[in-house]
Chain A
Amino acid sequence: MSSEATDLDTDILTTLLGFLERFPTKSGELNAQTDLSADLSLDSVSTMEILVEVEDHYDISLPLNMMANVNTVQDLVNEIKPLVESKP
């Protein structure tokens, strides 16, 4: 993995954690392995709000069908990263 890619991973993770910190976690911890549904109890409206914030921050659009692959914060990072890298 190049240092550039690592930087992007870190940037996306830091950004996401910043958006998510207003939601209380059941375990009291918020990190890459936090489960968005089980730990954060994000309902569909809150999830949509977070996604719009991420989209506007990076000027990308996240496909709704992508969410089927997403459980943890890291899963979301993994979905966002290629969209940021391939921005037109």
Chain B
Amino acid sequence: MSISDRFTELAHIRDSLGSLAADPSRIVMEKILSPTEAVIDGKPTILVGTNNYLGLTFDPDLIDAACEAIHEQGSGTTGSRMANGSFHSHAALEAEFAAFYDMPAAMLFSTGYQTNLGLLMGLLRPGDKVVLDAHSHACIYDGCRISGADFFAFKHNDPEDLRKRLRRMGPDAEGALVITEGLYSMLGDTAPLAELCAVAKEYGAWFMVDEAHSFGIYGETGRGLCEEAGILDQVDFITGTFSKSLASLGGFCVSRHPEMRLLRYGSRPYIFSASSSPANIAAAHAALRAVRNRPELKKQLWANAERLHAGLSGLGYKLASAPSPVIAVRVPSHEEAARTWNELLASGVYVNLVVPPAAPDGESLLRCSLSAGHSFDQIDRIVAAFDAAFGNATQSLQAAGAN
């Protein structure tokens, strides 16, 4: 395929979204009013598709820490830690992650995407074997692909299918890497981590969990679903991002294996990327302290999630999972999903429109992500907006059909 052919292909994708008036690139937030509200098309809009789970983006502690870091350390690091040196703030945040997890090794990466890419490119070589959950995020697939390892998918959240895949590997199963996530970002369902970990360990495989969407909101102390499942002493690698609960930009990996620190010498995304800016590191550090010291944030988030789930269930919608901070309404028709998404936006509610292949199972999703910053009043307005939007979308579809 030539570059011009590729441009044609991309234009086709854009046009197909444009024909549904559902091109996400047209959403521009002209003014950010709070963690849960912005001005879009000149109108104040409730944001319920941001992954701002703990609602910390405007928290005074985070803002003060970020501003102070800029004044003390400057606007950027201007280079990678291996080539240009580490700022003390990066080392301090790594130490705090290691202490929080009570693990000997922690490493920071510049984005959440690069965290998984960096870990997998550092760990894996051609011929290595990986078994990953079929619903894994693109960065996990990309890390496996770039590493040259042989990678296999097991059925989403299915320990028996994982067992089948490992059995078929024969002796190669020992030393293979099994990868799953905690909370899945599209459907809002959670992995049966204890069962998956037990199968991996039965075959002598390594076990890695991406807690991008579950860190800070699951587990007694906020360490994620691994903590909730009671497997912190068995999981080999945990990754996470700063760009969701931690309200910043960057990512982390922790491990009970001190050797993980050696990846600094062999992970190309780590070696060749500039490190996160001092402001990003300071905000993430302040947010990590909030996770540790302000459990009321998690409590409020869960109360909000329960309320939205109950409200949308009460309207009779087909929801993709039990209550969680991600609540996705399943919509069989892409056109109905797009029309409803537009109706929601027109009424001042922004959710995520997800169509296949990003949405699994062939259906489209109207995906909501809750925040501790939402008020009950906002959630009730979101539920009312869904009710009106689906009604209007159905009417306009019927009218289009009648014509």
Contact = CB atoms under 8 A, between A and B. Distances in A.
B169 A44 contact: no
Contact of B151 (A45, A60, A63): A63
B144 interface: yes
Interface in A26-63: 43-45, 48, 55, 59-63
Interface residues of A, number: 15
A88 B151 contact: no
A63 B144 CA distance: 11
Contacts, number: 36
A4 to B, nearest CB: 22
Contacts of B150: 63, 65-66
A1 interface: no
The 9 nearest A-B residue pairs measured at CB: A88-B170, A63-B150, A61-B168, A61-B152, A61-B165, A64-B151, A44-B357, A63-B152, A65-B151
A62 B154 CA distance: 11
Given A61-B165, A61-B168, A64-B152, 6 more contacts: A59-B168, A63-B151, A65-B144, A65-B150, A87-B170, A88-B168
Given A64-B151, A65-B150, A88 B362 contact: no
Interface residues of B, number: 18
Contacts of A65: 144-145, 148-151
Nearest to B169: A61
Interface of B: 134, 141, 144-145, 148-153, 165, 168-171, 356-357, 362
B139 to A, nearest CB: 15
24 contacts: A45-B356, A48-B153, A55-B168, A59-B168, A60-B168, A61-B152, A61-B165, A61-B168, A61-B169, A62-B152, A63-B150, A63-B151, A64-B141, A64-B151, A64-B152, A64-B153, A65-B144, A65-B145, A65-B148, A65-B149, A66-B150, A88-B168, A88-B170, A88-B171
Contacts of B151: 63-65
Q: Which of A61, A62, A66 has the most CB of B within 10 A?
A: A61
B357 A45 contact: yes
A87 to B, nearest CB: 8
A54 B112 CA distance: 35
Nearest to A88: B170
A59 B165 CA distance: 9
